[in-house]
Structure 1
Amino acid sequence: MSFALWAGSDVIEQSQFAARWTARASFLVFLVAYTASAMARLFPGPVTKALLRRRRQWGLGFALSHTIHLAALITYLSLSGEERPLGVLIGGGLGYALMFAMALTSNDASQRMLGGWWKRLHRLGIHYIWFIFLFSYAGRLADPDRIQIGLVFTPIALAALGLRITARYKSLRRGRAATAG
Protein backbone atom coordinates (compact mmCIF):
# COMPACT_ATOMS: atom_id res chain seq x y z
CA MET A 1 0.00 0.00 0.00
CA SER A 2 2.80 2.42 0.77
CA PHE A 3 4.09 1.83 -2.76
CA ALA A 4 0.66 2.84 -4.11
CA LEU A 5 0.89 6.12 -2.25
CA TRP A 6 4.08 6.95 -4.17
CA ALA A 7 3.13 5.42 -7.53
CA GLY A 8 0.36 7.80 -8.57
CA SER A 9 0.88 11.23 -10.02
CA ASP A 10 -1.59 12.84 -7.60
CA VAL A 11 -3.51 11.95 -4.46
CA ILE A 12 -6.56 10.74 -6.42
CA GLU A 13 -4.51 8.32 -8.49
CA GLN A 14 -2.57 7.23 -5.42
CA SER A 15 -5.75 6.41 -3.52
CA GLN A 16 -7.09 4.56 -6.57
CA PHE A 17 -3.91 2.46 -6.76
CA ALA A 18 -4.11 1.82 -3.02
CA ALA A 19 -7.72 0.65 -3.37
CA ARG A 20 -6.87 -1.66 -6.27
CA TRP A 21 -3.78 -3.19 -4.70
CA THR A 22 -5.34 -3.70 -1.29
CA ALA A 23 -8.30 -5.46 -2.97
CA ARG A 24 -5.93 -7.84 -4.72
CA ALA A 25 -3.87 -8.46 -1.59
CA SER A 26 -7.06 -9.03 0.41
CA PHE A 27 -8.26 -11.53 -2.19
CA LEU A 28 -5.09 -13.57 -1.83
CA VAL A 29 -5.37 -13.62 1.98
CA PHE A 30 -9.07 -14.48 1.64
CA LEU A 31 -8.21 -17.43 -0.61
CA VAL A 32 -6.07 -18.98 2.13
CA ALA A 33 -8.97 -18.82 4.60
CA TYR A 34 -11.49 -19.93 1.95
CA THR A 35 -9.51 -22.98 0.82
CA ALA A 36 -7.70 -24.04 4.03
CA SER A 37 -10.13 -26.81 4.96
CA ALA A 38 -10.39 -28.13 1.41
CA MET A 39 -6.63 -28.11 0.97
CA ALA A 40 -6.15 -30.01 4.26
CA ARG A 41 -8.68 -32.65 3.16
CA LEU A 42 -7.38 -33.02 -0.39
CA PHE A 43 -3.65 -32.63 0.26
CA PRO A 44 -3.01 -33.63 3.88
CA GLY A 45 0.40 -32.61 5.10
CA PRO A 46 2.15 -30.32 7.56
CA VAL A 47 1.66 -27.14 5.50
CA THR A 48 -2.04 -27.62 4.80
CA LYS A 49 -2.71 -28.70 8.38
CA ALA A 50 -0.92 -25.59 9.63
CA LEU A 51 -3.04 -23.42 7.32
CA LEU A 52 -6.17 -25.09 8.65
CA ARG A 53 -5.09 -24.61 12.27
CA ARG A 54 -4.57 -20.91 11.58
CA ARG A 55 -7.64 -20.39 9.39
CA ARG A 56 -9.20 -18.07 11.96
CA GLN A 57 -6.10 -15.85 11.90
CA TRP A 58 -6.10 -15.84 8.09
CA GLY A 59 -9.76 -14.79 8.19
CA LEU A 60 -9.01 -12.00 10.65
CA GLY A 61 -6.03 -10.97 8.51
CA PHE A 62 -8.37 -10.76 5.55
CA ALA A 63 -10.82 -8.62 7.55
CA LEU A 64 -8.02 -6.23 8.51
CA SER A 65 -6.65 -6.07 4.97
CA HIS A 66 -10.09 -5.53 3.48
CA THR A 67 -10.89 -2.82 6.02
CA ILE A 68 -7.76 -1.01 4.81
CA HIS A 69 -9.07 -1.54 1.27
CA LEU A 70 -12.39 0.00 2.29
CA ALA A 71 -10.61 3.07 3.69
CA ALA A 72 -8.59 3.44 0.48
CA LEU A 73 -11.72 3.02 -1.64
CA ILE A 74 -13.70 5.57 0.37
CA THR A 75 -10.78 7.98 0.10
CA TYR A 76 -10.61 7.50 -3.66
CA LEU A 77 -14.36 7.87 -4.18
CA SER A 78 -14.58 10.99 -2.01
CA LEU A 79 -11.60 12.67 -3.70
CA SER A 80 -12.50 11.72 -7.26
CA GLY A 81 -16.23 12.33 -6.99
CA GLU A 82 -16.79 9.04 -8.81
CA GLU A 83 -20.07 7.39 -7.89
CA ARG A 84 -20.96 3.73 -7.68
CA PRO A 85 -24.37 2.33 -8.68
CA LEU A 86 -26.76 1.67 -5.80
CA GLY A 87 -26.70 -2.09 -6.44
CA VAL A 88 -22.92 -2.14 -6.09
CA LEU A 89 -23.10 -0.19 -2.83
CA ILE A 90 -25.77 -2.49 -1.41
CA GLY A 91 -24.00 -5.68 -2.54
CA GLY A 92 -20.61 -4.51 -1.30
CA GLY A 93 -22.10 -3.13 1.91
CA LEU A 94 -23.68 -6.50 2.67
CA GLY A 95 -20.30 -8.14 2.04
CA TYR A 96 -18.62 -5.81 4.52
CA ALA A 97 -21.41 -6.34 7.07
CA LEU A 98 -20.94 -10.11 6.82
CA MET A 99 -17.15 -9.74 6.99
CA PHE A 100 -17.34 -7.62 10.15
CA ALA A 101 -19.90 -9.99 11.70
CA MET A 102 -17.61 -12.94 10.99
CA ALA A 103 -14.58 -11.09 12.38
CA LEU A 104 -16.45 -10.13 15.55
CA THR A 105 -17.60 -13.73 16.07
CA SER A 106 -14.26 -15.38 15.26
CA ASN A 107 -13.64 -16.51 18.81
CA ASP A 108 -14.52 -19.55 20.87
CA ALA A 109 -16.98 -17.70 23.12
CA SER A 110 -19.08 -16.48 20.16
CA GLN A 111 -18.95 -19.91 18.59
CA ARG A 112 -20.37 -21.48 21.79
CA MET A 113 -22.95 -18.74 22.27
CA LEU A 114 -24.25 -18.81 18.68
CA GLY A 115 -24.18 -22.59 18.32
CA GLY A 116 -25.35 -23.67 14.87
CA TRP A 117 -25.97 -20.06 13.86
CA TRP A 118 -22.22 -19.43 14.04
CA LYS A 119 -21.60 -21.99 11.30
CA ARG A 120 -24.46 -20.63 9.19
CA LEU A 121 -23.15 -17.06 9.50
CA HIS A 122 -19.61 -18.05 8.56
CA ARG A 123 -20.69 -20.33 5.71
CA LEU A 124 -22.99 -17.68 4.24
CA GLY A 125 -20.43 -14.92 4.77
CA ILE A 126 -17.45 -16.68 3.25
CA HIS A 127 -19.41 -17.77 0.18
CA TYR A 128 -20.97 -14.35 -0.25
CA ILE A 129 -17.55 -12.67 -0.07
CA TRP A 130 -16.21 -15.24 -2.55
CA PHE A 131 -19.10 -14.39 -4.89
CA ILE A 132 -18.38 -10.65 -4.61
CA PHE A 133 -14.74 -11.26 -5.58
CA LEU A 134 -15.79 -13.52 -8.47
CA PHE A 135 -18.42 -11.04 -9.67
CA SER A 136 -15.94 -8.15 -9.47
CA TYR A 137 -13.15 -9.93 -11.32
CA ALA A 138 -15.43 -11.58 -13.91
CA GLY A 139 -16.93 -8.15 -14.61
CA ARG A 140 -13.51 -6.94 -15.68
CA LEU A 141 -13.54 -9.45 -18.54
CA ALA A 142 -15.94 -7.15 -20.41
CA ASP A 143 -13.71 -4.08 -19.98
CA PRO A 144 -10.81 -3.92 -22.46
CA ASP A 145 -8.82 -1.70 -20.07
CA ARG A 146 -9.10 -4.18 -17.18
CA ILE A 147 -9.46 -7.54 -18.90
CA GLN A 148 -6.01 -8.74 -17.77
CA ILE A 149 -7.04 -8.58 -14.11
CA GLY A 150 -10.21 -10.52 -14.92
CA LEU A 151 -8.24 -13.13 -16.86
CA VAL A 152 -5.93 -13.71 -13.90
CA PHE A 153 -8.27 -13.57 -10.91
CA THR A 154 -11.54 -15.03 -12.28
CA PRO A 155 -10.05 -18.50 -12.87
CA ILE A 156 -8.35 -18.37 -9.46
CA ALA A 157 -11.70 -17.66 -7.78
CA LEU A 158 -13.36 -20.49 -9.73
CA ALA A 159 -10.50 -22.87 -8.89
CA ALA A 160 -10.93 -22.06 -5.19
CA LEU A 161 -14.61 -23.00 -5.38
CA GLY A 162 -13.64 -26.12 -7.33
CA LEU A 163 -11.29 -27.14 -4.51
CA ARG A 164 -14.07 -26.74 -1.96
CA ILE A 165 -16.56 -28.71 -4.06
CA THR A 166 -14.03 -31.49 -4.69
CA ALA A 167 -13.18 -31.73 -0.98
CA ARG A 168 -16.86 -31.82 -0.06
CA TYR A 169 -17.56 -34.53 -2.62
CA LYS A 170 -14.60 -36.56 -1.35
CA SER A 171 -15.88 -36.24 2.25
CA LEU A 172 -19.38 -37.34 1.23
CA ARG A 173 -18.01 -40.35 -0.67
CA ARG A 174 -15.79 -41.30 2.26
CA GLY A 175 -18.79 -41.00 4.62
CA ARG A 176 -20.97 -43.19 2.40
CA ALA A 177 -18.22 -45.79 2.10
CA ALA A 178 -17.82 -45.87 5.90
CA THR A 179 -21.57 -46.39 6.43
CA ALA A 180 -21.81 -49.02 3.72
CA GLY A 181 -18.77 -50.94 5.00
Structure 2
Amino acid sequence: MRYPWFRLAIFIVGCLFPAWWLYEAAMGLLGPDPGKILVDRLGLGALVFLLVTLCMTPLQRLTGWAGWVVVRRQLGLWCFAYIVLHMTAYMVFILGLDWAQLGVELRKRPYIIVGFVGFLGLLALAVTSNRYSQRRLGARWKKLHKLVYVILGLGLLHFLWIVRSDLQEWAVYASVAAALLIVRVPLIWRRVPRLVGGRGRAA
Protein backbone atom coordinates (compact mmCIF):
# COMPACT_ATOMS: atom_id res chain seq x y z
CA MET A 1 0.00 0.00 0.00
CA ARG A 2 1.40 3.39 -1.01
CA TYR A 3 1.61 6.26 1.50
CA PRO A 4 0.20 4.28 4.46
CA TRP A 5 0.78 7.07 6.98
CA PHE A 6 -1.08 9.58 4.85
CA ARG A 7 -3.96 7.14 4.48
CA LEU A 8 -3.96 6.48 8.22
CA ALA A 9 -4.04 10.21 8.99
CA ILE A 10 -7.09 10.67 6.75
CA PHE A 11 -8.80 7.70 8.41
CA ILE A 12 -8.17 9.15 11.87
CA VAL A 13 -9.48 12.58 10.85
CA GLY A 14 -12.55 11.01 9.26
CA CYS A 15 -13.39 9.12 12.46
CA LEU A 16 -12.41 11.88 14.86
CA PHE A 17 -15.02 14.48 14.00
CA PRO A 18 -18.18 12.30 14.35
CA ALA A 19 -16.75 10.77 17.51
CA TRP A 20 -16.12 14.23 19.00
CA TRP A 21 -19.58 15.47 18.00
CA LEU A 22 -21.21 12.45 19.62
CA TYR A 23 -19.17 13.12 22.77
CA GLU A 24 -20.35 16.73 22.78
CA ALA A 25 -23.96 15.56 22.35
CA ALA A 26 -23.60 13.06 25.20
CA MET A 27 -22.14 15.76 27.46
CA GLY A 28 -24.97 18.19 26.62
CA LEU A 29 -22.63 20.62 24.87
CA LEU A 30 -24.67 21.02 21.67
CA GLY A 31 -27.51 23.09 23.08
CA PRO A 32 -31.21 22.25 23.34
CA ASP A 33 -31.40 20.48 19.96
CA PRO A 34 -28.26 18.31 19.63
CA GLY A 35 -29.85 16.08 16.99
CA LYS A 36 -30.22 18.96 14.55
CA ILE A 37 -26.67 20.12 15.23
CA LEU A 38 -25.38 16.62 14.45
CA VAL A 39 -27.40 16.49 11.23
CA ASP A 40 -26.05 19.87 10.12
CA ARG A 41 -22.44 19.09 11.02
CA LEU A 42 -22.46 15.73 9.24
CA GLY A 43 -23.92 17.30 6.12
CA LEU A 44 -21.36 20.09 6.17
CA GLY A 45 -18.62 17.53 6.80
CA ALA A 46 -19.68 15.65 3.67
CA LEU A 47 -19.45 18.87 1.63
CA VAL A 48 -15.99 19.59 3.02
CA PHE A 49 -14.78 16.08 2.17
CA LEU A 50 -16.18 16.48 -1.35
CA LEU A 51 -14.31 19.76 -1.84
CA VAL A 52 -11.11 18.29 -0.41
CA THR A 53 -11.47 15.32 -2.77
CA LEU A 54 -11.70 17.69 -5.72
CA CYS A 55 -8.57 19.49 -4.49
CA MET A 56 -6.41 16.38 -4.89
CA THR A 57 -5.87 16.50 -8.65
CA PRO A 58 -4.97 20.22 -8.74
CA LEU A 59 -2.58 19.68 -5.82
CA GLN A 60 -0.92 16.81 -7.65
CA ARG A 61 -0.65 19.00 -10.72
CA LEU A 62 0.90 21.84 -8.74
CA THR A 63 3.32 19.82 -6.61
CA GLY A 64 4.01 16.75 -8.71
CA TRP A 65 3.48 14.55 -5.61
CA ALA A 66 1.43 11.45 -6.42
CA GLY A 67 0.20 11.01 -2.85
CA TRP A 68 -2.60 13.52 -3.38
CA VAL A 69 -4.23 11.44 -6.10
CA VAL A 70 -3.59 8.15 -4.30
CA VAL A 71 -5.90 9.17 -1.43
CA ARG A 72 -8.57 10.71 -3.66
CA ARG A 73 -10.78 7.60 -3.60
CA GLN A 74 -10.45 7.31 0.18
CA LEU A 75 -11.57 10.91 0.61
CA GLY A 76 -14.51 10.36 -1.72
CA LEU A 77 -15.61 7.35 0.30
CA TRP A 78 -15.43 9.43 3.48
CA CYS A 79 -17.70 11.97 1.80
CA PHE A 80 -20.17 9.18 1.10
CA ALA A 81 -19.87 7.88 4.67
CA TYR A 82 -20.66 11.31 6.09
CA ILE A 83 -23.71 11.60 3.83
CA VAL A 84 -24.97 8.22 5.03
CA LEU A 85 -24.48 9.37 8.64
CA HIS A 86 -26.16 12.69 7.79
CA MET A 87 -29.24 10.90 6.43
CA THR A 88 -29.29 8.41 9.31
CA ALA A 89 -29.09 11.22 11.87
CA TYR A 90 -31.91 13.03 10.07
CA MET A 91 -34.15 9.95 10.18
CA VAL A 92 -33.37 9.26 13.85
CA PHE A 93 -33.19 12.73 15.40
CA ILE A 94 -35.48 14.80 13.18
CA LEU A 95 -38.10 12.28 12.09
CA GLY A 96 -37.82 9.92 15.04
CA LEU A 97 -37.92 7.02 12.55
CA ASP A 98 -41.49 8.05 11.66
CA TRP A 99 -41.61 7.20 7.96
CA ALA A 100 -45.07 8.72 7.57
CA GLN A 101 -43.61 12.07 8.59
CA LEU A 102 -41.14 11.87 5.72
CA GLY A 103 -43.88 12.59 3.17
CA VAL A 104 -44.86 15.71 5.10
CA GLU A 105 -41.23 16.84 5.25
CA LEU A 106 -40.77 16.35 1.51
CA ARG A 107 -43.75 18.59 0.77
CA LYS A 108 -42.62 21.27 3.22
CA ARG A 109 -38.89 21.07 2.47
CA PRO A 110 -38.18 20.12 -1.17
CA TYR A 111 -34.47 20.67 -0.59
CA ILE A 112 -34.54 17.18 0.95
CA ILE A 113 -35.29 15.80 -2.52
CA VAL A 114 -32.29 17.70 -3.92
CA GLY A 115 -30.10 16.20 -1.20
CA PHE A 116 -31.41 12.71 -1.86
CA VAL A 117 -30.66 12.99 -5.59
CA GLY A 118 -27.12 14.00 -4.64
CA PHE A 119 -26.92 10.96 -2.36
CA LEU A 120 -27.93 8.67 -5.23
CA GLY A 121 -25.15 10.16 -7.33
CA LEU A 122 -22.62 9.60 -4.55
CA LEU A 123 -23.89 6.04 -4.14
CA ALA A 124 -23.20 5.37 -7.83
CA LEU A 125 -19.67 6.75 -7.47
CA ALA A 126 -18.98 4.84 -4.25
CA VAL A 127 -20.17 1.52 -5.69
CA THR A 128 -17.98 1.97 -8.79
CA SER A 129 -14.91 3.39 -7.03
CA ASN A 130 -13.08 0.04 -7.03
CA ARG A 131 -10.57 -1.15 -9.63
CA TYR A 132 -12.88 -3.92 -10.81
CA SER A 133 -15.45 -1.31 -11.85
CA GLN A 134 -12.74 0.74 -13.54
CA ARG A 135 -11.70 -2.24 -15.65
CA ARG A 136 -15.27 -3.30 -16.35
CA LEU A 137 -16.54 0.14 -17.36
CA GLY A 138 -13.42 1.22 -19.24
CA ALA A 139 -13.74 4.70 -20.75
CA ARG A 140 -17.27 4.97 -19.37
CA TRP A 141 -15.86 5.01 -15.83
CA LYS A 142 -14.39 8.51 -16.20
CA LYS A 143 -17.61 9.76 -17.76
CA LEU A 144 -19.62 8.33 -14.87
CA HIS A 145 -17.34 9.89 -12.28
CA LYS A 146 -17.76 13.32 -13.81
CA LEU A 147 -21.09 13.15 -11.98
CA VAL A 148 -19.11 14.50 -9.04
CA TYR A 149 -19.54 18.01 -10.45
CA VAL A 150 -23.31 17.60 -10.65
CA ILE A 151 -23.30 16.22 -7.10
CA LEU A 152 -21.30 19.22 -5.93
CA GLY A 153 -23.88 21.54 -7.48
CA LEU A 154 -26.73 19.65 -5.83
CA GLY A 155 -24.94 19.75 -2.48
CA LEU A 156 -24.43 23.49 -2.69
CA LEU A 157 -28.06 24.01 -3.72
CA HIS A 158 -29.21 21.85 -0.80
CA PHE A 159 -27.02 23.88 1.56
CA LEU A 160 -28.17 27.20 0.07
CA TRP A 161 -31.82 26.27 0.48
CA ILE A 162 -31.23 25.55 4.16
CA VAL A 163 -29.21 28.69 5.02
CA ARG A 164 -30.80 31.14 2.56
CA SER A 165 -31.22 33.73 5.32
CA ASP A 166 -27.46 33.73 6.06
CA LEU A 167 -25.37 33.37 2.91
CA GLN A 168 -21.95 34.26 4.29
CA GLU A 169 -20.86 30.73 5.17
CA TRP A 170 -22.43 29.29 2.01
CA ALA A 171 -20.56 31.82 -0.12
CA VAL A 172 -17.22 30.58 1.25
CA TYR A 173 -17.88 26.99 0.18
CA ALA A 174 -19.40 28.10 -3.13
CA SER A 175 -16.31 30.20 -3.85
CA VAL A 176 -13.99 27.25 -3.19
CA ALA A 177 -16.15 25.07 -5.44
CA ALA A 178 -16.12 27.70 -8.18
CA ALA A 179 -12.32 27.96 -8.01
CA LEU A 180 -11.97 24.17 -8.26
CA LEU A 181 -14.22 24.13 -11.32
CA ILE A 182 -12.55 27.10 -13.00
CA VAL A 183 -9.08 25.59 -12.65
CA ARG A 184 -10.37 22.56 -14.58
CA VAL A 185 -11.26 24.66 -17.63
CA PRO A 186 -8.90 23.20 -20.30
CA LEU A 187 -7.31 26.55 -21.20
CA ILE A 188 -6.50 27.26 -17.55
CA TRP A 189 -5.61 23.65 -16.72
CA ARG A 190 -2.98 23.51 -19.49
CA ARG A 191 -1.33 26.65 -18.15
CA VAL A 192 -1.03 25.46 -14.52
CA PRO A 193 2.20 23.45 -15.01
CA ARG A 194 3.82 26.40 -16.81
CA LEU A 195 2.90 28.75 -13.96
CA VAL A 196 4.46 26.61 -11.25
CA GLY A 197 6.86 24.42 -13.17
CA GLY A 198 5.12 21.16 -12.25
CA ARG A 199 3.81 18.32 -14.36
CA GLY A 200 0.74 16.16 -14.09
CA ARG A 201 -2.20 14.67 -15.90
CA ALA A 202 -5.78 15.83 -15.70
CA ALA A 203 -8.22 13.50 -13.97
* TM-score normalised by L of structure 2: 0.68
Cα deviation for residue 113 of structure 1 reads 0.7
Alpha carbons 2:111, 2:162 under 8 Å: kept: no
Cα deviation for residue 151 of structure 1 reads 3.5
Shift of the 94–133 alpha-carbon distance from structure 1 to 2, 3 Å rule, reads closer
Q: Which residue of 2 aligns with 1:39?
A: 59
Cα deviation for residue 141 of structure 1 reads 6.3
Q: 129, 135, 141: which is aligned to 2:157? A: 135
Q: Does 1:103 align with 2:126?
A: yes
Q: Does 1:119 align with 2:142?
A: yes
Q: 63, 66, 70: which is aligned to 2:87? A: 70
Shift of the 142–100 alpha-carbon distance from structure 1 to 2, 3 Å rule, reads closer
- Cα RMSD, aligned residues only: 2.7
**Percent of aligned pairs with the same residue?**
24
Q: Give distance in 1, aligned partners of 2:161 and 2:115.
A: 14
Alpha carbons 2:128, 2:134 under 8 Å: kept: yes
Shift of the 139–87 alpha-carbon distance from structure 1 to 2, 3 Å rule, reads closer
Alpha carbons 1:40, 1:52 under 8 Å: kept: yes
Q: Give distance in 2, aligned partners of 1:159 and 1:169.
A: 14
Aligned length: 164
Q: Which residue of 1 aligns with 2:9?
A: none
Name the SS for the 2:155 alignment partner: helix
Unaligned runs of 5+ in 2: 1-20, 193-203
Cα deviation for residue 149 of structure 1 reads 2.5
Shift of the 40–169 alpha-carbon distance from structure 1 to 2, 3 Å rule, reads farther
**1:1-181 to 2 correspondence within 5 Å?**
1-3=21-23, 5=25, 6-10=28-32, 13-41=33-61, 43-46=62-65, 49-79=66-96, 83-85=105-107, 87-124=110-147, 126-139=148-161, 142-143=164-165, 146-165=166-185, 168-172=186-190
Cα deviation for residue 171 of structure 1 reads 4.3
Cα deviation for residue 172 of structure 1 reads 4.9
Alpha carbons 1:19, 1:72 under 8 Å: kept: yes
Q: Give distance in 2, aligned partners of 1:26 and 1:72.
A: 13
Structure number with higher helix proportion: 1
Shift of the 4–98 alpha-carbon distance from structure 1 to 2, 3 Å rule, reads farther
* TM-score normalised by L of structure 1: 0.76
Q: Give distance in 1, aligned partners of 2:121 and 2:23.
A: 29
Look up the equivalent residue of 2:34 and give its one-letter code. Q
Shift of the 97–137 alpha-carbon distance from structure 1 to 2, 3 Å rule, reads closer
